[in-house]
């Protein structure tokens, strides 16, 4: 295959419009499968919402990709394929810096070796090496400008996390009671990593954690009734983490953790049995992921301010987006401002393709829905103050089910402004 030809030939332009809190409607577009390849699968969206990364390929060969999204309108963008370096036959982009400039991932030569790399337009693809004594490595996340990278190193069945800074890898070890460490996400300042530890006995014991250079690892609790939790992602400042938890082998669902709320299960989409969360907005109020029954999947947006799980296949059309027969199966990331979502799904011909959507978001502090935060909203809040309240229309702006001083604080911080 002439992969250089593929790379040169594929520079796509999307006709997607509408972004930002005052936009009237939602919009949607597939990213498109590069010529001569058979699938495209997005894995992450940069926190700034300006780049989607993942992998595209055909049987036997995978290419990492970055698809830029022109901010703020998500108009023109460039799809760049990042090739595996021989003898590797598979390259996958697992993460991207917050500014979209640095892509990180792994490449694999058969079953023999997996190598972590970072890529930028200026520097191309560079190997990151591995921890001493650990032969394989893969990179999964980066900070805002890509100067700090998180990943994992493995040998046989063992695994440790690492934090890469200027070519030096700091090892992240499991805490007592666990035998393997997995890094999955990082805050924008690169000072907080999250992931999960795995126990050797029983092997299905997983628990999520957060790690800082100064404080080391701190375990985060399971949701009530659960016996495992795995972190898939964190928001930009690291104050919220999301993932999957449940009772192993019985039931799994999306989980959310923050200092304020502790660990909570997000509601299942009605009629669906399993699911997981893969992205969270900067304010922690919007979470994206997927739900599943057997091999059938649907991309979901959880709105924590209202407590509602939305099927994006229904929500986007209801807000004016045309899906053109595309099925959204997975949502893999949401921008820091909560307006841009990316994932992958199925074309009308059932090919696997990546997608991006713009969904104008609600307006914190706006109780009456006029996109202004003023005395009218304060009046609604005061009429519900101190009571159980459901959603912004009843003065609960932070989604904790109560209208109280925390909501007043949200309103006052936005008072006199428009969304």
Q: What residues make contact with Ca ion under the rule CB under 5 A? A: 366, 368, 370, 372, 377, 396, 398, 400, 402, 407
Sign of CA dihedral 362, 365, 371, 377: positive
Torsion of the alpha carbons at 322, 327, 332 and 336, rounded to the nearest 10? 10
Contact yes or no for 175/211 (Cβ under 8 A): no
Q: Of the two residues 33 and 410, which places its CB atom closer to Ca ion in the complex?
A: 410
Q: Of the two residues 99 and 400, which places its CB atom closer to Ca ion in the complex?
A: 400
At closest approach, how far in Å is the CB of 394 from Ca ion? 9
Q: Of the two residues 121 and 383, which places its CB atom closer to Ca ion in the complex?
A: 383
Q: Could you give the CA distance from residue 108 to residue 127 in angstroms, rounded to a whole number? A: 12
Q: Of the two residues 112 and 418, which places its CB atom closer to Ca ion in the complex?
A: 418
At closest approach, how far in Å is the CB of 263 from Ca ion? 19
At closest approach, how far in Å is the CB of 25 from Ca ion? 20
Q: Of the two residues 329 and 396, which places its CB atom closer to Ca ion in the complex?
A: 396
Cβ count near 110 (within 10 Å)? 9
Q: Could you give the CA distance from residue 370 to residue 419 in angstroms, rounded to a whole number? A: 9
Written in H, E and C, the secondary structure of 335-398 is CCCCCEEEEEEECCCCCEEEEEEECCCCCCCCCCCCCECCHHHHHHHHHHCCEECCCHHHCCCC
Q: Of the two residues 241 and 402, which places its CB atom closer to Ca ion in the complex?
A: 402
Q: Of the two residues 294 and 416, which places its CB atom closer to Ca ion in the complex?
A: 416
Cβ count near 274 (within 10 Å)? 18
> Where in 294-351 does DSSP place strands (E)?
296-303, 308-311, 327-334, 340-346
At closest approach, how far in Å is the CB of 99 from Ca ion? 33
Tokens of 13: 């332009």
At closest approach, how far in Å is the CB of 36 from Ca ion? 52
Packed helices 405-414 and 375-384: angle between N→C axes, nearest 10 degrees: 180
At closest approach, how far in Å is the CB of 374 from Ca ion? 6
At closest approach, how far in Å is the CB of 415 from Ca ion? 10
């Amino acid at each position: 295959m002439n992969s250089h030809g593929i790379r040169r030939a594929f520079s796509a332009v999307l006709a997607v419009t509408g972004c930002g809190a005052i936009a009237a409607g939602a919009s949607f577009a597939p990213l498109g499968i590069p010529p001569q390849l058979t699938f495209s699968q997005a894995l992450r969206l940069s926190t700034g919402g300006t780049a989607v990364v993942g992998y595209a390929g055909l049987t036997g060969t995978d290419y990492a990709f970055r698809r830029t999204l022109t901010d703020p309108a998500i108009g023109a963008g460039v799809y760049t394929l990042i090739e595996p370096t021989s003898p590797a036959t598979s390259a996958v982009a697992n993460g991207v810096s917050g500014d979209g400039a640095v892509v990180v991932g792994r490449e694999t030569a058969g079953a023999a070796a997996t190598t972590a790399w970072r890529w930028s337009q200026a520097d191309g693809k560079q190997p990151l090496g591995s921890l001493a004594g650990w032969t394989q490595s893969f990179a999964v996340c980066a900070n805002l400008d890509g100067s700090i990278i998180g990943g994992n190193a493995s040998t046989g069945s063992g695994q440790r996390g690492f934090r890469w800074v200027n070519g030096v890898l700091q090892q992240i070890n499991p805490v007592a009671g666990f035998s393997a460490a997995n890094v999955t996400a990082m805050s924008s300042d690169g000072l907080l990593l999250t992931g999960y530890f795995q126990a050797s006995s029983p092997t299905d014991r997983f628990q999520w954690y957060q790690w800082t250079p100064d404080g080391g690892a701190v375990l985060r609790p399971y949701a009530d009734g659960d016996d495992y939790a795995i972190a898939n992602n964190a928001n930009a400042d690291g104050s919220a983490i999301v993932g999957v938890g449940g009772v192993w082998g019985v039931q799994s669902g999306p989980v959310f953790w923050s200092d304020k709320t502790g660990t909570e299960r997000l509601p299942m989409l009605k009629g669906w049995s399993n699911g997981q969360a893969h992205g969270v907005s900067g304010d922690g109020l919007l979470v994206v992921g997927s739900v599943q029954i057997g091999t059938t999947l649907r991309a979901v947006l959880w709105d924590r301010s209202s407590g509602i799980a939305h099927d994006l296949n229904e929500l986007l059309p209801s807000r004016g987006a045309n899906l053109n027969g595309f099925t959204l199966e997975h949502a893999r990331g949401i921008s820091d401002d909560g307006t841009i979502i990316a994932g992958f799904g199925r074309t009308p011909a059932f090919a696997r393709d990546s997608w991006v959507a713009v969904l104008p978001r609600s307006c914190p502090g706006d109780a009456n829905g006029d996109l202004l935060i003023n005395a009218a909203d304060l009046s609604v809040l005061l009429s519900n103050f101190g009571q159980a309240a459901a959603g912004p229309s009843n003065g609960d702006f932070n989604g904790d089910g109560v209208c109280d001083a925390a909501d007043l604080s949200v309103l006052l911080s936005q008072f006199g402004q428009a969304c």
